[in-house]
């Protein structure tokens, strides 16, 4: 067999390595379980949503907000959005976050209270720290669509010299 020049061997070897590592990387990406799977799929996600609802009903900061709600409907919508946002094979059929919460004048404190209820529900279902952090990041990403920024705690910031009435 004819001996190949060194530079040709290098190119063939490089293409081969690229093909192998490329396939391995894409397989790894498609094989890696979603956050939804790592949490435990539908049974655990439904249990978490049940606990989120219970936590809301006993949380004095937000329970009034849900006093006229249909628990079956809200739990189903929260399950769907939770599943869809964590990579589950579920379609969210509810209203978008801005439309849903616009006009409710939701404050920073209420948003934090709801996040606390979700984190407590994750703890109640023994969800690990990594998954907990990923869910928190998802919740944080929709904050701007939910909170009325005119009601933030910025209103509680110390007065600036401009605001201080001089004697």
Residues in touch with ligand HEM (CB under 6 A): 62, 65-66, 69, 74, 77-78, 81, 94-95, 100-101, 106, 110-111, 114-115, 139, 142, 146
Minimum CB separation from ligand HEM for residue 124, in Å? Answer: 17
Minimum CB separation from ligand HEM for residue 40, in Å? Answer: 19
Classify burial at 76, counting beta carbons within 10 Å of its beta carbon; exposed 0-12, middle 13-18, buried 19 or more.
middle
Nearer to ligand HEM, 77 or 90 (CB): 77
Nearer to ligand HEM, 22 or 96 (CB): 96
Cα–Cα distance for residue pair 151/14, rounded to 1 Å: 58
Nearer to ligand HEM, 124 or 146 (CB): 146
Minimum CB separation from ligand HEM for residue 36, in Å? Answer: 15
Closest residue by beta carbon to ligand HEM = 94
Classify burial at 62, counting beta carbons within 10 Å of its beta carbon; exposed 0-12, middle 13-18, buried 19 or more.
buried
> In this structure, are residues 54 and 71 in contact, taking their beta carbons and an 8 Å threshold?
no
**Residue carrying structure tokens 């201080």:** 164
Cα–Cα distance for residue pair 103/110, rounded to 1 Å: 14
């Amino acid at each position: 067999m004819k001996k190949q020049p060194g530079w040709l061997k290098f190119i063939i070897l490089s293409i081969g390595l690229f093909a192998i590592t490329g396939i391995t990387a894409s397989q790894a990406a498609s094989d890696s379980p979603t956050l939804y799977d790592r949490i435990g799929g539908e049974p655990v996600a439904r249990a978490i949503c049940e606990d989120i609802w219970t936590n809301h009903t006993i949380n004095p900061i937000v329970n009034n907000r849900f006093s006229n709600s249909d628990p079956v409907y809200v739990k189903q919508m929260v399950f769907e959005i939770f599943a869809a946002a964590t990579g589950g094979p579920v379609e969210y059929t509810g209203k978008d976050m801005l439309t849903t919460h616009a006009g409710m004048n939701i404050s920073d404190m209420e948003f934090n209270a709801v996040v606390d209820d979700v984190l407590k529900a994750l703890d109640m279902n023994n969800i690990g720290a990594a998954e907990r952090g990923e869910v928190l990041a998802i919740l944080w990403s929709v904050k701007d669509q939910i909170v009325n920024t005119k009601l933030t705690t910025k209103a509680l910031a110390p007065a600036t010299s401009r605001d201080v009435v001089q004697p």
